[in-house]
Amino acid sequence: MSASLIFDLAPIGSLVSWSDGTPRPPECFRNKLAAWETRNSQGRLIRKEGPRKLGSYTAPGSFTLHEGDIGSRTTILVTIRRTFGLDSDLTFRVIARPPLGSVRIFDRGGETRELLHLTKDRQAAETWLKAHRYPGAVLEEIGADEAAAEADEGRTTP
């Protein structure tokens, strides 16, 4: 599916893969493999941003995926995020959607919010918030209405 369909249909918290359609090179070709992995990977959808005007230029909408963290279990040194424009030539696929009853933890409310964490329920979200201390955090539960909207459009969790 295209980047614009991911933007329109995939809920925040979904696990999304992207690919350029080329076959994976053998492990012995480290540089080629590293380049391939930047255009063929997966991550969690953490942010959507609509088109915005910058002077006379209108930037296309975009979405951001959290690919991973580098560090130890308790200390994150680097967070790897990838932002894709809606005009991306890559092919995307929703691997999994957040399950019914799970809770999204956003850094703030509003259109510029970003997903910090996805938990299985409200109690786990509150426990996570106590440990991580985000004063402006907003909790959003995945309700039956969102699951019903996916079923109505023929989109079900794989």
Average pLDDT of the chain to the nearest whole number = 88
More confident residue, 139 or 149: 139
Q: How far apart are CA 143 and CA 69, in angstroms?
A: 29
Six-digit token string for 26:
């053998």
Does pLDDT of 54 surpass 90? no
Does pLDDT of 71 surpass 70? yes
Does pLDDT of 34 surpass 70? yes
| Tens-place pLDDT, residues 86-125 | 999 999 999 999 999 999 999 998 888 999 999 999 999 9
Output Rg (C-alpha) for the chain, integer angstroms. Answer: 17
pLDDT-derived band of residue 74, with 50, 70 and 90 as boundaries? confident
Position of tokens 């039956």? 144
Exposed (0-12), middle (13-18) or buried (19+): which is 73, by Cβ within 10 Å? exposed
Does pLDDT of 154 surpass 80? no
Question: What residue type is assigned to position 81 of the chain?
Answer: R
Of 36, 33, 38, 40, residue with least CA distance to 16? 40
The alpha carbon of residue 17 and the mean position of all alpha carbons in its chain are separated, in whole angstroms, by 10
Contact between residue 86 and residue 3 where contact means Cβ atoms under 8 Å apart: yes
Model pLDDT, residue 158: 44
> Span 40-60, mean pLDDT?
91
